[in-house]
Structures are given as C-alpha cells and as structure tokens.
Amino acid sequence: MNLQRVICAVYGVAVVALTTFVVAGEPLDELDVHQLELSPARYLDRELRVVGRFASAGAGKMRLMGSKIEFRLGPEIHLFANPQHVELVGRLEDLGGKLVFNTQRLTKIPSESQRFEDRKKMLTQVNYPALYQLSDWALQRAQWYNDSHLEQQAQDAWVQAFRWEEDDIARRGLADELLALADRGQQHEIAPSELARMRYRALLLKVQKLQPGDSAQRISLAENVSELLPGGDRPPRSPTQDSEQDQSKWWIQYIQSDESEREAMHRALYRSLVRDALLIESNRIESDLASLVRQAQEMVPEDTRLIRELERLELERRAQALATLSRRDALTLFSQFERLDFHDRAKELKSSWLAGRRLALDRAEIEDRVALARDYWQLLHEAETAEALLRESLSIGPSPDAEAALSELGFVKIGQNWRRPMDSQPLTPVADGDVVVGSSEQLVIQRLGAPDAVARTVGAGWMLELWRYEGPPQLFVYLRRIAATGKAAVVKIVAP
C-alpha cells in the first residue's frame, strides 16, 4: 500500500516537472552585449538574456558600456543604485533602423572577474580545454571593456591551461605533441626558458623511446637537441666527464636547476646521445673507427673519455693484426696506446709481439736474436729475457753485437763468463775496467756488487777471503787481505 503511494508521488512529481519545463521553454543563453553588437540582426525579435556593464540610465532608458543599443526599461523595472554589472531579459527590435531592446527583467549580477573566478574554480587539471575557453571568454570581455585586470586574468588562465595541457601530453608520453605545444607557446609569447624546458621534456620522452642499437635515431635526436635547446650546440670550454646517472632522474634534476645549469644539461643530453650513437656504431664490424673518432672530435670535443675510448677501439682493431705489422707499425701502435695512457695494454701487446717474434726465431739465427734482445730491453726492460737471448746468440756463435748488448745492459765479462750485475743496482752502461787478478775489493764491489757470502781462512801472515756470488753464473772471487794495510786484492776468480 505504502509502496503504491510512493510510486504515485514520484510519478506525480515527474509529470509536474516535465510540464513546467515544456511551459517555460528552453532556458535562454547568456549573451554578452558585445556579442549582440557584433551581429544584432541575428538576434532580432528573439527573447534574449543580455549581460553587460551599466553605463547610464534615465527616462526609462539605459545604456550599457560599449553598446549603442537603447535598452528601454518598463515602469515595472526597478533600477538598482550603481548596478555596475547587469543582466537584462527582453527582446531586440529594429525600429526604423534603430536597435531597441525592450527589457522585461533587470538583474544585478557579479562582475566578469568574479564570474571568471567562479567558473575557473569549477575546473580541474584534466579539463584544460575548458580553461582555454574560459580564458578566451575573459579575453573577449577584457578587450571589449578595455579591462587590463581581466585581460591579465585571461592571460594567466591561458598559461595555466597551457601547462595543464603540457602535463597531460607528457603524461601520455606524446613527445611530438609536446614539441608542437611548445611551438604554440612560442606564438603566445611564453617565456623562452619555459619553452626550452618543455622541449627538453619532450626530447627526454623521445630518449626513453629510443630503440636499442639505433645509432641514426640517436644522432637525429642529438641534432634536435642541438637545434631546439639553448646551449645544446655549444661545447663547454673544458673537457667534461659525465657521471653515470639514471636517466629517470634527469628531469627531476633539470627542474631543480637554474638557467645556466639547464644549458649545461642540454649539452649533456646532446653529448649522451652522440656518445651512445658512436659507441653503437663502433661495435659494428664494418664501422670505420677512425671516422668515428673524427666524428666524436667534431661533435663532442669536450668528451675526451669518449674520444679516448674510440681511439682505443681503433687501436685494438689494428692490434688484432699485430703479428702481421711491420716493426715500425707495431712500435707506432704501442706508442699510440701509451699516448692514451693504456700503458698496461701497451705492455701486454709488446710482450705478445716479442713472444711471437721469439717463437719464430730460427735456431741458428744470431742477429735476429740480438735485435730481439735489444727490443726486449728497450720495450719491456726485461733484462732476464734479453740476457737469455744474448746468451743464446753467443752459444750459437761469436757475436760482437751480442757482447756489446750485454755490456750495454751492464753485464761484465769475467774470463769467458758474462756476469749479471746485482739486482739492486740499476742496469747502466759500464765503463772500461773489468775485475781481474789484482783488482781492489772496491772495484769488485763496484762491478759485481756486494757478495752473497764471505768466508775467510787465516794463517801466519796471510788472510784469504772467498767472496761468493750465487749468480747465475755462480762466481768465486778470492781476495788476499794484507794485515798491515787492511786492503784486499783479487788473487783468483773462479766460475765453478
């Protein structure tokens, strides 16, 4: 029973509401007076709701600011004191060429600024087109009334809509749209720094979408950076080492930076793209690494690390054919590695190159052995290997060159043996004067170093000392020490 009553009540209310709507007709659109002035013929003989700024009133007539239309007020219309902003409902008629608006109702309304603010409050960030419209609405009225305050409000609203749109596009990852938006912003005289920020953001979006291994895409993007972002095409005055940083943090760091720092970041983005592109290219077997080095020097001269790395790769490629290189080319290659501070690698290659030459030595070859020994000493300072090669040479046959080389290495010929200098002593070329019978102990020490062990036997009026050098080769030097003077001289040298 109750349910039937409720249904009937709802039905009744609906019928009443529908009837009211039909009877009242379609609600009237708000028409600003300047719109009416622009094309009055369009609105003739229609009931209108016109808003405008009050200018003057008297004798049942009223004028609105900027309008030539005569607004007639009936006796029943009550005119407010200082109405300022009004809404008039009535009908526009053309009376012999004169436009007359017969007002049926007059209402005082808030100002355009106030209405603008009220409408703006109702908008959310996603609804940036509505904010653009609101900005246009305010701008039209500001221009009609020459209202600078309202014009500023309109401009601010446009900028805000622009940013909302930027965020929306960025959120959707549409880099090209964002670039286009920046171009649009340029037409609206958005600050260049803001435009640069938007373009940087757009280009970062493009960086995120780069295909792995696509160097052309990176170079193209780098060119975009160079063209669009201030400072992107300007290398810093000093070499720069970019720290490894997560790309996702670039944007956060960017918006926290000042303008000069941002220019540096534009260049860093350019550098990063060029570096990646060139490194990708360098990994291709068919790539011309020398050309890539030149490209890097031209495009990112400040990135010395990249240039060095590309140079290293170029040298490494040449080093793959090390065994086939001429001596001159090999030495050039080593020196180039050293120039780049890759000393360990240079040493490794030298060692490998020399070892290869050693393996290829003919069993009876003397001159090549001597030459190789000299290279071992000059390139690697490997005295032991040089010594071994020179001794091999001498074991094959007499060789003045080998003897001269041993002498240059600081070895001393004692009898038929070449004596290795003490390890603690630098290998320096020696002067004339070998250790022979009669040499003083000072000369022995000077030439052979301190002995490894000393033993003495003493009799009546004599003392014999044995100075033992463990070598190789092992060497016994016997000295007789004179008690009266305390001096000792060599009496015998034996290489057991």
Partner 1 sequence: MDNGLTSAADPADIPPREVVRKVLDVISGRALLRWTMAFLTVPRLVLLLTLVLCGATGWWTWSTYRYRAAVATLEEELPLAQVAFDAGEIDAAIPHVRAAARAGRVIGPKSVRAKSAVQLERELEGWRRLATMHIGQFFAEHEATPPSEFAEAFEFAFANRTLIVDGLLIATDASPGAADPHVAQSSVEYTLDWTWIDEEGRQVEFVFEQCPAFAHIKRGSSERVILAAEVERIVLASPGSSHWRAFFKPDSVTFLTALGPLQRAGWPGNTDIEDVLLEQRQRLGINE
Q: Nearer Cβ to partner 1, position 46 or 456?
A: 456
Quick one: 315 or 488, whose CB is closer to partner 1?
488
Q: How far, in Å, CA of 493 to CA of 185, rounded?
A: 97
Q: What kind and span of H or E run contains 113? A: helix 112-121
Give the binding range for partner 1 (CB under 8 A) out of 340-348, 355-363, 390-398, 488-496: 488-496
Q: How far is CA 321 from CA 149, 290, 316, 433, in A?
A: 77, 16, 9, 46
Burial of 334 per CB tally in 10 Å (0-12, 13-18, 19+):
buried
Residue 17 touching partner 1 (CB under 8 A):
no
What is the nearest approach in angstroms of partner 1 to the Cβ of residue 323?
48
Out of 130, 210, 464, 489, the only residue in the binding site for partner 1 (CB under 8 A) is 464
The string of DSSP codes covering 329-383 is HHHHHHHHHHHTT-HHHHHHHHHHHHHHHHHT--TT-SHHHHHHHHHIIIII--H
Give min distance, CB of 471 to partner 1, in A: 15
CB of 455 to partner 1, least distance (A): 3
Residue 136 CA, distance from chain mean position:
41
Structure tokens that stand for 251 in this block? 């944007």
Judged by beta carbon, residue 234 or residue 481, the one nearer partner 1 is 481
Q: Which is nearer to partner 1, 97 or 438 (CB)?
A: 438
Given the complex with partner 1, which of 343 and 456 has the nearer CB atom? 456
* Separation CA 399–CA 61 (nearest Å): 131
Minimum CB distance to partner 1, residue 478 (Å): 7
| Candidate ranges 125-133, 226-234, 320-328, 474-482; the one touching partner 1 (CB under 8 A) | 474-482
The nearest distance, CB 403 to partner 1, in angstroms, is 24
Q: Residue 323 or residue 455: which is nearer to partner 1 going by CB? A: 455
Residue pair 159/132 in contact by the 8 Å Cβ criterion: no
CB 428 to partner 1: min, Å: 27
CB closer to partner 1 out of 256 and 457: 457
For residue 31, give the 3-state DSSP assignment.
Answer: strand
How many CA atoms lie less than 13 Å away from 45 in the CB half-sphere?
2
| Binding-residue pattern over the window 313 to 332 for partner 1, x denoting contact by CB under 8 A | --------------------
d(CA 252, CA 206): 17
C-beta of 427: minimal distance to partner 1 in Å? 28
Q: How far apart are CA 104 and CA 247, in angstroms?
A: 66
Q: How many residues bind partner 1 (CB under 8 A)?
A: 26
- 481 part of the interface to partner 1, by CB under 8 A: yes
CB of 411 to partner 1, least distance (A): 23
Q: How far is the CB of 451 from partner 1 (least distance, A)?
A: 12
- What stretch of H or E contains 155? helix 148-171
CA-only gyration radius of the chain, Å: 49
Question: Which member of 440, 466, 473, 489 binds partner 1 (CB under 8 A)?
Answer: 466
Among 230, 361, 476, 489, binds partner 1 (CB under 8 A): 476
CB of 457 to partner 1, least distance (A): 5
Minimum gap (Å) between residue 387 Cβ and partner 1 = 25
Q: Which of 174, 210, 427, 463 binds partner 1 (CB under 8 A)?
A: 463
Cβ distance 124 to 167 under 8 Å? no
Q: Which of residues 423-462 bind partner 1 (CB under 8 A)?
A: 453-462
Instruction: Write b or e for each residue in 257-293: b if 16 or more Cβ atoms lie within 10 A of its Cβ, otherwise e.
Output: eeeeebbebbbbbbbbbbbbbbbbbbeeeebebeebb
CB-based burial label for 177 (10 Å; 0-12, 13-18, 19+): middle
Query: Which residue lies nearer to partner 1 by CB, 364 or 484?
Result: 484
Q: Is 413 in the site for partner 1 (CB under 8 A)?
A: no
State whether the Cα torsion 86-87-89-92 is positive or negative: positive
Instruction: Please report how close the Cβ of residue 388 comes to partner 1 at its closest, in angstroms.
Output: 26
Q: Which is nearer to partner 1, 55 or 455 (CB)?
A: 455
CB closer to partner 1, 28 vs 455: 455
Please state, in angstroms and as integers, the Cα–Cα distance from residue 331 to each residue in 45, 317, 319, following that order: 101, 15, 11
For partner 1, the closer CB: 44 or 437: 437
Closest to partner 1 by CB, 148 or 485: 485
Among 55, 126, 437, 483, binds partner 1 (CB under 8 A): 483
Judged by CB, which is closer to partner 1: 397, or 496? 496
H-helix or E-strand containing 56?
strand 47-58
What phi, psi does 212 have (nearest 5°)?
Answer: -60, 135
Which pair of tokens denotes residue 170?
């960025």
CB of 366 vs partner 1, minimal distance in Å = 30
Kindly tell me which residue out of 338, 468, 473, 489 binds partner 1, with binding defined by CB under 8 A.
Answer: 468
Residues in contact with partner 1 by the rule CB under 8 A: 453-464, 466, 468, 476, 478, 480-484, 486, 491-492, 494, 496
